Amino acid sequence: MTPKVPEVIAEIAGLIGRSLVPGGDPAEVGANLGLSAALLGLAAQRIDGMAQALVEENRAVRALLARGAELFGDDGWAVLSRGADENFRISALERTNAELRGALLALHERVEQAVEESARALEAAIWDELRASTERRLVIGSPV
Amino acid sequence: MTHPLEPRLAAYLAGKMPHAEDLAVDQLSRISGGASRETYRFRLIWRERGEPRERRLILRRDPPASLIETERRIEFEAYRAFRNTPVPVPEMLYLEEESDALDHPFFIAEEISGYQAGPGTLWTEPYLGCHARLGRRKWEILGEISKADPQALGMTAVLPAGAPEDCWRRELDHWEGVLDADQTEPLPIVRAAIRWLRANPPPPPARLSVVHGDYRTGNFLYDTEGGVHGILDWEMCHLGDPLEDLGWSFNPVWSFGRELVGGLLPRDEAIAAWEAASGLKADPGALRWWELMGCVKGQAIWISSGKAWIDGGNREPIMVYPPWALQNAQDRAILKVMGRL
Distance CA B18, CA B75 (A): 26
Q: In this structure, are residues B334 and B190 in contact, taking their beta carbons and an 8 Å threshold? A: yes
Which pLDDT score, from 0 to 100, does residue A24 have? Answer: 82
Which letter, b or e, does each residue of B10-49 get, where b requires 16 or more Cβ atoms within 10 Å of its Cβ?
bebbbeebeebeebbbeebebbebbbbbbbbbbbbbbeee
A142 in a structural domain: no
Distance CA A144, CA B230 (A): 28
Confidence grade of residue B3 (pLDDT, cut at 50, 70, 90): confident
Confidence grade of residue B36 (pLDDT, cut at 50, 70, 90): low
- Say whether pLDDT at B334 is over 60: yes
Distance CA B276, CA B339 (A): 28
Find which of B196, B315, B328 to mutate to test the A interface (most A CBs within 10 Å of its CB): B328
Prior bond of A3 cis (ω within 30°): yes
The neighbouring-strand residues paired with B53 are B46
For residue B278, the tally of other CB atoms under 10 A from its CB is: 21
Confidence grade of residue B70 (pLDDT, cut at 50, 70, 90): low
Is A28 within 8 Å of chain B by CB? yes
Please give the share of chain A, as a percent, with pLDDT higher than 90. 91
As to burial, measured by CB atoms within 10 angstroms (0-12 exposed, 13-18 middle, 19+ buried), residue A75 is exposed
Which pLDDT score, from 0 to 100, does residue B291 have? Answer: 98
Q: CA B223 from chain center: how many Å?
A: 19
- Annotate A10-54 with DSSP letters as a single string: HHHHHHHHHHTSTTS-HHHHHHHHHHHHHHHHHHHHHHHHHHHHH
A52 in a structural domain: yes
A9 in a structural domain: yes
SS3 B216: coil
Find which of B260, B324, B336 to mutate to test the A interface (most A CBs within 10 Å of its CB): B324
Is A101 within 8 Å of chain B by CB? yes
Task: Tell me if ipTM is over 0.90.
Answer: yes
Please answer yes or no on whether B329 and A31 come within 8 Å at the CB atom.
no
User: What does the DSSP 8-state code read for residue B110?
Assistant: E
As to burial, measured by CB atoms within 10 angstroms (0-12 exposed, 13-18 middle, 19+ buried), residue B184 is middle
Closest CA to A27 of B43, B33, B142, B281: B33
Q: What mean pLDDT is predicted for residues B316-334?
A: 96
Please answer yes or no on whether A130 and B340 come within 8 Å at the CB atom.
yes
Prior bond of B126 cis (ω within 30°): yes
A144 in a structural domain: no
Distance CA B36, CA B132 (A): 30
Closest CA to A62 of A137, A134, A125: A125
Cα–Cα distance list, B204 to B164, B244, B305 (Å):
6, 12, 31
Q: What mean pLDDT is predicted for residues A30-55?
A: 95
For residue B267, the tally of other CB atoms under 10 A from its CB is: 14
Please give the share of chain B, as a percent, with pLDDT higher than 70. 96
Return the ∠ at Cα B140 (arms to B134 and B144), rounded to 5°: 140
A65 in a structural domain: yes
Domains of chain B from N-terminus onward = 5-110 (3.30.200.20), 127-337 (3.90.1200.10)
What's the pLDDT tens digit per position in B90-140? 999 999 999 899 999 999 999 999 999 999 999 999 999 999 999 999 999
Distance CA B63, CA B142 (A): 28
Distance CA B77, CA B210 (A): 12
Size of interface A-B (CB pairs under 8 A): 125
Q: What mean pLDDT is predicted for residues B273-279?
A: 98
Q: Which residues contact B102 (CB under 8 A, 6 or more apart)?
A: B5, B8, B9, B12, B59, B61, B96
Which pLDDT score, from 0 to 100, does residue B69 have? Answer: 53
Q: What mean pLDDT is predicted for residues B135-162?
A: 96
Mean pLDDT of chain B, nearest integer: 94
Please answer yes or no on whether B256 and A137 come within 8 Å at the CB atom.
no
Residue of chain B with shortest Cα separation from A95 = B185
A141 in a structural domain: no
A83 in a structural domain: yes
Cα–Cα distance list, B102 to A19, B6, B26, B136 (Å):
23, 10, 16, 40
- Say whether pLDDT at B72 is over 90: no
- Say whether pLDDT at B68 is over 60: no
Please answer yes or no on whether A144 and B333 come within 8 Å at the CB atom.
yes
Number of domains in chain A: 1
A26 contacts in chain B (CB < 8 Å): 29
Q: In this structure, are residues B332 and B297 in contact, taking their beta carbons and an 8 Å threshold? A: no
**End-to-end alpha-carbon separation of chain A, Å?**
17
Going A69 to A73 to A78 to A79, the CA torsion angle's sign is negative
A24 in a structural domain: yes
Distance CA B161, CA B159 (A): 6
Cα–Cα distance list, A4 to B135, B175, B200 (Å):
38, 24, 36
A144 contacts in chain B (CB < 8 Å): 252-253, 255, 257, 329-330, 332-333, 336, 341
Domain that holds residue A108: 5-136
